[in-house]
Amino acid sequence: MPEPGLGEGAIVARGLTKVYNGKLTAVDHIDLDVMEGEVFALLGPNGAGKSTTIGMLTTLIKPTEGRAVVGGYDVSSQPEMVRRTIGVVPQEYTADEDLTGWENLTFIASLYGIPGAEARRRAQELLEMVELSRFARTKVEAYSGGMRRRLEIAMGLINSPRILFLDEPTLGLDVQTRTAIWSYIGKLKEEYGMTILFTTHYMEEADLYATRIAIMDRGKIVKIGTPRELKESIGGDVVTLAVDNQAAAVELLRSLGVDPREYEGSLVFKLRDASTALPELIRALMESGIQVKRMEVSEPTMDEVYMEYTGRRLRDAQASSEEMFAMRATLRRARS
């Protein structure tokens, strides 16, 4: 029996909170409403609480406080119904390396109670879709990173879920593989009309594939909106100026009501109606004897949106998270 009371969406959370060991607040009273059929992205730096959020929504982690309803079922009181409704592709690899890709898929199918013949048909279909048919009988330990990711996605889809959770589905993969993975996800979406919630460190992925994005920082959701809304929300275009006397330029710009930041030897600031306002600014700078050596005006990118709301460049986050992923993989190898 679906649980009434929270909201209409495929994924609804109210005041969802996780405190680890009574002291570390990883997720801090978040509210979410993901509609049926949406592709929803959670963006945020390392440790923002994205995986913990997915963990709670997928019944792996018990919320400390608050409620969440997924596919109409409460994650705390009806966890088994939630598990039947969803597919999960966790951040870490979960396939059994001692088994082949085929065996992994049919094993997971059996855990969902899918009868043998249907399981084999699905496994074959999915392996074809993620282009692993040739490696169906190869032990997973011999798979490359990209192959493993693709297998993980196939495993997350074996039960034809209505709602799919993807935690960093493309982390650490090269650009071609990332594009390929997103094309599978796109196909699935078209075929089954699933609701998808994913996390990523790659801004352009959120920008390209998400219908809506939630930016998370330190356990809180700091902003939710469509990519378009987010870009508009930061107020104007982004101007980059290279000048000969930065200190003087900063002072002058501040007095004119803009707030420049230094970034890689240039000044970066937001400006409304840049096409008319910028010439005036330049004139003011020239009149105080400051030379403008280079200038650039751009529509805000997701990168700037991210910077605005989390105070961090995504590129840094991206690098550090790739590093972390590589480290985890090495650690895992060393352990076995």
Partner 1 sequence: MSDRSHGPLHGIWAVANRELVKWYKVPFIIGMSLVQPILWLALFGKAMNLGNLFTASSLQIPGLNIPSQVINEIGRDVMLRIFGTSDYFSFLAAGMLSFIVLFMSMNSGMTMVWDRRLGILNKLLTTPVPRSNLVIGKALASVIKSLVQATVVLLVAVLLGMQFGAGINPMDFLGTYAALFLLSMGLSSLFLILALRATSWESQMMIMNLVNMPLLFTSNSFYPLQMMPWWLRDVAMVNPITYSNEAARGLLLATPGVNIYLDFAYLLAFAAFFTGLLAVMARRMLSR
Ligand X SMILES: Nc1ncnc2c1ncn2[C@@H]1O[C@H](COP(=O)(O)OP(=O)(O)OP(=O)(O)O)[C@@H](O)[C@H]1O
Binding site for ligand X (CB under 6 A): 20-21, 24, 26, 44, 46-52, 91, 321
Half-sphere exposure of 118 (CA within 13 A, CB side): 10
Answer for the pair 27, 218: CB distance below 8 angstroms, yes or no. no
Footprint of partner 1 on residues 108-137 (CB under 8 A)?
A: 108, 110-114
Closer residue to Mg ion, CB minimum distance, 50 or 122: 50
Token pair in block for residue 202: 């790659």
Would you call 335 exposed, middle or buried from its count of C-beta atoms within 10 A (0-12, 13-18, 19+)? exposed
Closer residue to partner 1, CB minimum distance, 60 or 268: 60
Q: Which does 159 bind (CB under 5 to 8 A by kind): Mg ion, ligand X, partner 1, none?
A: partner 1
Answer for the pair 65, 15: CB distance below 8 angstroms, yes or no. yes
Three-state SS for 66-92 is: EEEEECCEECCCCHHHHHHHEEEECCC
Q: Which does 48 bind (CB under 5 to 8 A by kind): partner 1, ligand X, Mg ion, none?
A: ligand X
Query: Contact with partner 1 (CB under 8 A): which of 1, 22, 23, 80?
Result: 80
Edge-to-edge strands, sheet with 237-243: 261-263, 266-271, 237-243, 292-298
* Category of 39 on φ-ψ map: left (φ > 0), alpha (ψ -120 to 50) or beta: beta
Q: Which does 336 bind (CB under 5 to 8 A by kind): partner 1, ligand X, Mg ion, none?
A: partner 1
**In the complex, what is the shortest distance from the CB of residue 49 to Mg ion, in angstroms, rounded to a whole number?**
8
Footprint of partner 1 on residues 162-181 (CB under 8 A)?
A: 162
Q: Which does 320 bind (CB under 5 to 8 A by kind): Mg ion, partner 1, ligand X, none?
A: none
The residue count for binding Mg ion (CB under 5 A) is 3
DSSP code for 90: -
Tell whether residue 336 is a contact of partner 1 (CB under 8 A). yes
CB count within 10 Å of CB 80 equals 9
Site string for Mg ion, 56-95 (x = CB under 5 A): -----------------------------------x----
Answer for the pair 119, 180: CB distance below 8 angstroms, yes or no. no
Angle between helices 116-129 and 145-157 in degrees, nearest 10: 140
Q: Which does 24 bind (CB under 5 to 8 A by kind): Mg ion, ligand X, partner 1, none?
A: ligand X
Name the site residues for partner 1 (rule: CB under 8 A): 20, 55, 58-62, 80, 83-86, 88, 90, 92-99, 103, 107-108, 110-114, 155, 159-162, 332, 335-336
